[in-house]
Amino acid sequence: MSGFDDSRLGISGRVLARAHDEGRSALVTYLPVGYPAVEDSLRAFEALTDAGADLVEIGLPYSDPVLDGTVIQHATTKALRRGVRTRDAFRAAEVVAGAGGTALVMTYWNLIEQYGPERFARDLRDAGGAGVITPDLTPDEAEEWVAATDDTGLDRVFLIAPSSGDERIRMTMAACRGWVYATSVMGVTGTRSATSSAAPVIAHRARALDPGLPIGIGLGVSNADQAAEVAGYADAVIVGSALVGCLDSDGADLEHDLGRLRGLVGDLADGVRRGHA
């Protein structure tokens, strides 16, 4: 068995634990809802699940995405201009769940606060979502969110970074349910020609400080070889910008774009299996 603390895994963490028991890392894929348009994005989320993603991150577009790089910023700006709404993330969660997948929403805290934390948690749970990743919310400021996720049973995934001290890592991981998201670089999202040398360091530090929780590594992975490298030390490999890049902003040939998307997910899934330590 995985050796993780089952009482802390929640729905999404158990997906990662099952992958571990199968002798592989898990593949976590990200796309923003509403890009190129809402209906197109729903088909893309279904394609991610069908092509082999273990977890699907549904990005909720925001007007001030401080963590996102240019590819995701471009996509989310387009989605906002085309009228995407918070409730569309719940529609996407329903699509992923209907395809047999496991979905989490990735969103900045302001959008949850505007919607209402209790209402957001309840509506996502009712749509079949497993949890939420909040990149700009720290556990020491998350009392309201912890209460809402405890009431609904949703997973809550916080972030750690290479600059995080040991006590911050312990506190953050203790507040998570599901898994912890470890950023492998200092900076914003985006594809890179090589994975970060800081990635294995933050993964090993986090595992040594709290071995009971799975660790996902994100920021920078764009191809199967990089996925294989990260899978050698992480329980989950997170890919976003490279997948967004498969979709043309005008959606002129969606079938072609979905084919590219499925092909890349398939390659990445092969990579995480090939690279597992």
Residue 185 contacts residue 162 (beta carbons within 8 Å): yes
- Report the distance separating Cα 45 and Cα 36, nearest Å: 12
Q: Which of 54, 68, 229, 257 is catalytic?
A: 68
Active site residue 94: no
Token pair listed for 104: 């989490």
Residue 26 contacts residue 217 (beta carbons within 8 Å): no
Active site residue 68: yes
Angle subtended at Cα 177 by Cα 176 and Cα 183, rounded to the nearest 5 degrees = 50
Q: Which of 46, 54, 57, 210 is catalytic?
A: 57
By annotation, the residues acting in catalysis are 57, 68
